[in-house]
Structure 1
Amino acid sequence: MTGSAEEFVAELPCWAGPIELEPLLGGTTNTNFVVRDGTDAMVVRLGHDIAAHGIVRTHELAACNAAHRAGLGPEIVHHQPGALVMRYVEARTLQPSDLAEPAMIARLGRVLGTCHREVAKHLRGPTLMFWVFHVCRGYLAEASAQTCRLSGSLSDLAARNNDLEKRLGPIEPAFCHNDLLAANFMDDGNRLWLLDWEYAGWNSPWFDLANLSSNNEFSQSDDETLIGAYFGREPTRDDLATLLVMKCASLLRELLWNLTQERVSTLDLDYEADTNRYLHWFNTAYEQLSAP
């Protein structure tokens, strides 16, 4: 991409007329804009493949199209290398505080059920697997090969990653979102939309449940509400034990993601503080695995 991001967006061939462009804040691996061309409102996501995070934009496009057909995501109206253009959704982006309500947690659980049952039916072409333990091993290998402020902890984190994989055991894979931050959900008053499919891939459904829980600091009561809404039954002790294993895996992935961002990102965000926060959460959750 030559010139500024704004110039690149203005030159996209999908506009019906002169555009009004507004930066959309909040992206951690993309530059985003809301664009109005006098006819429609669109969201433009600018970003290329990111090898350090396993982000492949052609795969993201396939996942976005499948999510739209499954009723979870907006329509993609244009794509080209470096740019993804989708219809603007008139809806409210969820905040972490919204997820403190049991009714919302139940809605989220049902959305994940739809994601895992329906999105794969609409996928076309080759797809990726997001096996979180493999992802973590990749991050750990890269961190070990670089100058890293957590170098003294990497071997222990690698051993814990392997332990978590053994504890989980066999899985029934589903096509998962794998990045369930509150900001990736929007509520239009009638339905929830699920956005940002750049990490989507085949995984254990328990990862999405755990990722949603750990990213948003759910309590055990919240976890029980989530599991109940997802499965349509009361959660069991085995359910909660499996969820805890995957919460540890999710937290480990988040801390290693932020540790990688400390090295590769050019965005003005405090990744070091987030790494430290996730490290604390991971250690706390991992200790719970051995608690009576």
Structure 2
Amino acid sequence: MKNNKELIYGIMQDTLGVSKEMVQYIERTPGGETNDSYFVTIEEERFVVRIPGKGTEELLDRCAEKQNLLFGTELGINPPLVYYDDETGVKITRAIDGAEALTPKMAREKGLMQDVIHLFQCLHHAEAPTMNRFDLFKRIDHYESLVKNENEMKLDQIASLRQDIHELKNVYQSFQVKEVPCHMDAVFVNILKDKEDHLFLIDWEYSGLCDPLWDIATLSLSLLLDEEEEMFFLSYYFGRSPNEEELQRLHLLKIFLDYYWSLWYFYKEAKGEQFGDSGMRRVNRAESHIIQYKDIYESNIVV
């Protein structure tokens, strides 16, 4: 924390012309696995300063993130962006007054769940003709290569899952999916509520054009939604009951999502970060969802 404080003083000086003496308070924000973020108070004005974590330069496109942050800010669903360095990934936003991150209990309140759905609709229905594409399977290939270079034995341990993923990829790619602006990391802790109950999405690092069901799958897994809760979300989101293809895509995306993030954990751990058994828990859940998927859709699997 001490070293990061000095770094933050330097960042505020270089970007906003703020001297060390003007900085009244620095506090680490809760959560966050990719980066270190801090609340910084300057003459009663609060900011959030993000310092990128280890190995992120291999995982992220900072130029694309900057454009998507500006896009989200224009939509009114990202905290106001003050500064962004697309070379270092250092970011400064204004802190949302009275903001609190969603909790599973809060998110299950019917009115708030509907607000979250409206938030997703605002993003997914927006026009973004120049937004980068989140190419899921290209990303997976890239992450596999990163893990292989750092710890090839880890890939050997999940060889069976890798085989299933590449078989299920053929099924998913048979669908005609309209890709739309997506957040790509819409876990509940990345959704903030201000004092007026307005919702914001934070941490846009992985955002891009993709299947909108990815964001729904992400939120569903992070909240551990049961079948009834998930059907409520989908029905309200679509304005109708989801069709069979949408349900199948959602199931597939949950599998891909857990596999994708397991690779992320394995690579970050190889770079010296500690996440306990998070990566293997993702692997185990993906394998469980594959068993469920095969029970339902066995005849549709292309090998």
In 2, distance between residues paired with 1:129 and 1:9?
32
Matching residue's letter, 1:181: V
In 1, distance between residues paired with 2:268 and 2:8?
25
Matching residue's letter, 2:40: V
CA contact (8 A) 1:93 1:185 kept: yes
- SS state of the match for residue 224, structure 2? coil
Q: Are residues 1:36 and 2:53 paired?
A: no
Question: How many Å apart are 1:203 and its aligned residue?
Answer: 1.1
- SS state of the match for residue 141, structure 2? helix
Matching residue's letter, 1:43: V
In 2, distance between residues paired with 1:171 and 1:254?
22
* Residue matched to 1:195: 202
In 2, distance between residues paired with 1:210 and 1:150?
26
Q: Normalised by the size of structure 1, how large is the TM-score? A: 0.87
Q: Which deviates more, 69-78 or 151-160? A: 151-160
Q: Normalised by the size of structure 2, how large is the TM-score? A: 0.85
* Residue matched to 2:150: 146
Question: How many Å apart are 1:192 and its aligned residue?
Answer: 0.9
* Residue matched to 2:78: 73
* Residue matched to 1:165: 169
* Residue matched to 1:282: 286
* Residue matched to 2:300: none
* Residue matched to 1:27: 32
Question: How many Å apart are 1:147 and its aligned residue?
Answer: 2.6
Q: Are residues 1:219 and 2:223 paired?
A: no
Unaligned runs of 5+ in 1: none
In 2, distance between residues paired with 1:147 and 1:8?
32
Q: Deviations over 1:17-49 (max 9, x none)?
A: 601222223221211111111142111111278
Return closer, same or farther for 1:151/1:162 CA change in 2, 3 Å cut-off.
closer
Return closer, same or farther for 1:102/1:133 CA change in 2, 3 Å cut-off.
farther
Q: Which deviates more, 76-85 or 191-200? A: 76-85
CA contact (8 A) 1:106 1:225 kept: no
In 1, distance between residues paired with 2:223 and 2:261?
12
| Matching residue within 189, 198, 201 for 1:183 | 189
Return closer, same or farther for 1:171/1:275 CA change in 2, 3 Å cut-off.
same
In 1, distance between residues paired with 2:264 and 2:243?
31
In 2, distance between residues paired with 1:147 and 1:40?
45
Matches within 5 A, 1:1-292: 4-11=3-10, 12=12, 13-14=15-16, 18-20=22-24, 21-47=26-52, 50-53=56-59, 55-80=60-85, 81-82=87-88, 83-90=90-97, 91-118=99-126, 120=128, 127-168=131-172, 169=174, 170-188=176-194, 189-266=196-273, 269=274, 271-292=275-296
- SS state of the match for residue 46, structure 1? strand
Q: Deviations over 1:108-131 (max 9, x none)?
A: 22211111122627x6xxx43222
- SS state of the match for residue 74, structure 1? coil
Q: Deviations over 1:86-137 (max 9, x none)?
A: 111021111233333444333222211111122627x6xxx43222222222
Count of residues paired in the alignment: 282
Matching residue's letter, 2:82: V
**Superposition CA RMSD, Å:** 2.3
CA contact (8 A) 1:15 1:37 kept: no
Query: Percent identity, aligned pairs only?
Result: 20
In 2, distance between residues paired with 1:133 and 1:102?
35
Question: How many Å apart are 1:265 and its aligned residue?
Answer: 4.2
In 2, distance between residues paired with 1:227 and 1:137?
30
CA contact (8 A) 2:113 2:233 kept: yes
In 1, distance between residues paired with 2:229 and 2:127?
25
In 2, distance between residues paired with 1:103 and 1:141?
43
Question: How many Å apart are 1:255 and its aligned residue?
Answer: 1.5
Matching residue's letter, 1:164: L
CA contact (8 A) 1:178 1:199 kept: yes
Unaligned runs of 5+ in 2: 297-303
